Chains A and B, each alone.
Chain A
Amino acid sequence: MQMHSLAFDVSHTLAGGLVLISFMMLYQDRLYSLLNVFALHALVLALSVAWQAYIQDAPHLYVTAVIALVFKAIVIPVGLHRIVKQLGIHRDIESAVGIGMTMLAGMGLVALSMVLMLRVTADADPLAREDLAFALSVVLLGLLVMVTRRNAVSQVVGFMSLENGLVLAATGAKGMPLVVEISVAFSILIAFIVIGIFLFRIRERFDSVDVSALDDFRGERR
């Protein structure tokens, strides 16, 4: 029983940490620091997944954890760093909506997902319940990042952190097949490659990765 409550506490802490780091992403207005926070996000996710693998006694989750660590905490942030440097936008400061408003909205979203998940999954395993509530918060915060940013790179980061929330939800549920996780991981990698190529394409054509340039090109109002 002691073990169970320790397992619960640790996974609770890690998942909560993930939500906290999502909040940190909301107020980063420089790209490098945003990428660093994202790497931290992925690192905490990897830890959380590894802990789940340990307490669920599911060795294939270690693979997921390694994938999260290698790809999301190292390869993608490093890649995005290089892209930012090549594009020469590392000094840009950008935010579409004020930080205060964004933080308030984020708090509202977390409250919403807590209320909702705890009510809907009233008779589920308490561990999975908390996990799902946190995962939904991470997903919603990732979406919020995507909505509040103008820069394509930071939208990509928002998308990736959203996906981290999905992985958190998936690993919290017992019996997720490895194949699914690997395919999700690869799809993210491919999305990263495709988006990276697109970033350069956009840049080539518009001299900017600010998506408002695209909107201007389409001749529409913002």
Chain B
Amino acid sequence: MMSAVALQMACVAGLLGLAILAIALSRSKIATAVIYTITLIICLAALAGSLRWLLGGPADATGLILPIGLPWLGAHFRMDALAAFFLVVVNLGGAAASLYGLGYGRHESSPHRVLPFFPAFLAGMNLVVLADDAFSYLLCWEFMSLASWALVMAHHREAGNARAGYIYLVMASFGTLALLLAFGLLAGPTGDYGFAAIRNTPHTPYVAALVLILMLIGAGSKAGLVPLHVWLPLAHPAAPSHVSALMSGVMTKVAIYGFIRVVFDLLGQPSWPASVIVLGLGSITAVMGILYAMMETDLKRLLAYSTIENVGIIFVSLGLALAFQANGQKLPAALAFTAALFHVLNHSFFKSLLFFGAGAVLTSTGERDMDKLGGLIHRMPLTSFVVLIGCVAISALPPFNGFVSEWLIFQAVLQSPELPQWALKIMVPAVGAMLALAAALAAACFVKVFGVTFLGRPRSPAAETAVEVDRISLAAMFILATLCLLAGILPGPVMDALSPVAVEILGGRLPVQAHVPWLSIVPVSESRGSYNGLLVMVFIAISASLAVYFIHRFASHALRRGPAWGCGFDDAVPAAQYSGGSFAQPIRRVFGTLLFHARDHVDMPAPGDTRPARLRIELHDLVWERLYQPVSGAVGFSADRLNALQFLTIRRYLSLVFATLVTLLLVLAIWS
């Protein structure tokens, strides 16, 4: 019998081999079908292995040391409950993306640019989760980044993609630098890079604080924490849609895994000020992310911004877990932690689903801009149905899964009066209010997504002639939609499955939910609150059917069509419909004036002039303009200045070397 970690490593080896096979096959016609089928099978095997580990009751972590990497260290890999959970997320997302890719990949214009990197990217994400020493971790992290970068650059000739890839590369390198420094600090002067050794070393408060900040930069830039998120809305949409789904739904989760692994596991007992930073950043990220999304009309970019919001929610939840854990309150800590993991799982479901939906829309219309779509519910009824489920789930409406995890997070927020520190007592409810704001804005945002894209009348010929996508893509979307529903109506088993992770990381757990009657969940106690997804669904189903019944039974059967009043215009063109921009206008007025320096410019023709009036909206990305542009300007300026150094005479170079040597010696002589 293979050990669990060996099975996972075999799957990884299979994926890597597949990447090489894909290079060999890349020009042949069967390549797409072969590669995605095998990826699907391998991902399912890895998923089965990690699920068995997670559900199989308490098991000891197993490790594996490969004789590669640093000679005195080797490459350590280890499977524990946390890794198993994230492997489930990675491989479930990978399997869904492979299935979707089987259909979607047929329309791919340059499959040889996607096929080799797709399995490699999956292998990289699996390896990051399995790595058990700092060296392998960083190596696999870089491998994952580079593979995803190659996928972002798959369509490098399209406008903006090259820039997206460049910014992604810069931000990824910056993030890895922060991780490198964090692990350097963790290893300390003894320089033992194994995670087991780091875990057993006590860390001083200064080191812990520095590592936390470095991890927030390193893992946070990959996950998309504001203000390190700039690459994400550029790079995620640039990739093919199933890869966008993987990057948004899964790779951000791998970054969150890194954060949990270091901050919760390797650093040992947290201190409460750490949670203040995480809570603050998380809540700002959540609100800013969804506000950005609200302003956006590009479907895939909107979804990427919404990923930023969800990452913020997860970080808020992790911050709560840190706060409770720092005060030794095991039960609320486990509640917040479980909620975070639950949301990780849920977000991987519905964000993959929505990206698949966006991919389906893109395949059949060639459009990503919502303001050129519309009326797709008539042309693509099945896609519209699953995207509606995704939108409802991500808006955190019952009976779907998004509601459960956000409800759990709010349950954790409601535990805040038990915290002893006044700073946290005051801050946590404020953060809760921010979360509520983010959730409400998310609902508005996805009403906009669904309403503008799928309802109304088509705004372009492409939207008018759209056809339903192939069955395999639909199957992938329906499976994810089903998972969204199942996790929403049966949250108890999911929470029980997550409890080994909480036990391992925090040393505490939630009460066993399987014992609660009627499939309810009671995270803390009956008096604090309970939720029954099934009951809610039954109630929704009964009330909706009753309403339908009463309408059909008692309303008039005669169908009447009357002319709609078109404000004096006889023939309203589809472009006159409510657009994404007009839907977002009230929110832009309220928040955008301050946060985006949004201004509306109305260009009204003089009376008698027949030219149309124009409305121009001016938006500024302040994070980019105030933070990144000065930095890149400074780098560019100094690079221009230093450029002169390339054209010196030989003697000047020698003199420079000489002067440097003498200066260093002088420094040594003075300071030593």
Decide if A116 touches B651 in the complex (CB within 8 Å): no
**Which of A25-33, A86-94, A144-152 has 4 or more CB atoms under 8 Å from chain B?**
A144-152
The CA of A173 and the CA of B657, in the complex, are separated in Å by 26
Do A214 and B658 have beta carbons less than 8 Å apart? no
Main secondary structure of the interface of B (DSSP, over half): helix
Q: Which of B219-227, B312-320, B562-570, B663-671 lies at the binding interface?
A: B663-671
Query: Does B672 count as interface, using CB distance less than 8 angstroms?
Result: yes
A61: Cβ under 8 A from any B Cβ: no
Selected from B654, B662, B672, the residue in CB contact (under 8 A) with A140 is B662
Query: Given known contacts A147-B654, A147-B658, is B666 in contact with A220 (CB within 8 Å)?
Result: no
A207 vs B657: C-alpha distance in the bound complex, in angstroms?
28
Contact assessment for B658 and A211 in the assembled complex, using a CB-CB cutoff below 8 Å: no
Determine if B650 and A215 form an interchain contact, defined as CB atoms under 8 angstroms apart: yes
Counting CB contacts under 8 A, is B527 at the interface?
Answer: no
Q: Give chain B interface residues in 204-225, CB to chain A under 8 Å.
A: none
Q: Is B543 an interface residue (CB 8 A)?
A: no
- Judge whether B651 and A211 touch: CB under 8 Å: yes
Query: 21 A-B contacts, Cβ less than 8 Å apart?
Result: A109-B662, A112-B662, A112-B669, A115-B669, A116-B665, A116-B668, A116-B669, A120-B672, A140-B661, A143-B658, A143-B661, A146-B654, A146-B658, A147-B654, A147-B655, A147-B658, A150-B651, A211-B650, A212-B649, A214-B650, A220-B649
A22 adjacent to chain B (CB < 8 Å): no
Q: Which residues of B contact A144 (CB under 8 A)?
A: 658
Q: Is A205 an interface residue (CB 8 A)?
A: no
B666 touches A112 (CB 8 A): yes
The 10 tightest CB contacts between A and B, nearest first, are A215-B649, A116-B669, A143-B658, A147-B655, A115-B669, A147-B654, A147-B658, A220-B647, A146-B654, A211-B650
Q: Which residues of A contact B649 (CB under 8 A)?
A: 211-212, 214-215, 218, 220, 222
Chief secondary structure at chain A's binding surface = helix
Interface size class of A (residues with CB under 8 A): 20 to 34
Asked if B669 contacts A96 (CB within 8 A), the reply is: no
Specify which chain B residues have a CB less than 8 angstroms from the CB of A211 in the assembled complex. Answer: 649-651
Would you give the shortest CB distance from B579 to chain A, in whole angstroms? 59
**B594 smallest CB distance to A (angstroms):** 52
Assembly CA distance A72 to B355 (angstroms) = 73
Binary contact track A7-29/B, C-beta < 8 Å → 1, others 0: 00000000000000000000000
B466 to chain A, nearest CB (A): 61
In the assembly, what is the distance between CA of A143 and CA of B651, in Å? 11
Residues of A within 8 A of B647 (CB): 218, 220
A119 at the interface (CB under 8 A from B): yes
With a cutoff of 8 Å between Cβ atoms, the chain B residues found around residue A214 in the complex are 649-650
In the bound complex, residues from chain B placing their C-beta under 8 Å from that of A102 are: none
Residues in A with CB closer than 8 Å to B648 are 220
Q: Apart from A119-B672, A220-B647, A220-B649, what 19 extra A-B contacts exist at CB < 8 Å?
A: A96-B651, A109-B662, A112-B665, A115-B669, A116-B668, A120-B668, A120-B672, A140-B662, A143-B657, A143-B658, A144-B658, A146-B654, A147-B654, A211-B649, A211-B650, A211-B651, A215-B649, A220-B648, A222-B649
Say yes or no: B654 contacts A113, CB within 8 Å.
no
Q: Which residues of A contact B665 (CB under 8 A)?
A: 112-113, 116
Q: Is the CB of B669 within 8 A of A147?
A: no
Instruction: Tell me how far the C-beta of A145 lies from the nearest C-beta in chain B, rounded to whole angstroms.
Output: 10
Highest count of chain A CB atoms <10 Å: which of B651, B662, B666: B651
- Which residue of A has the minimal Cβ distance to B669? A116
Inter-chain contacts of A109 with B (CB < 8 A): 662
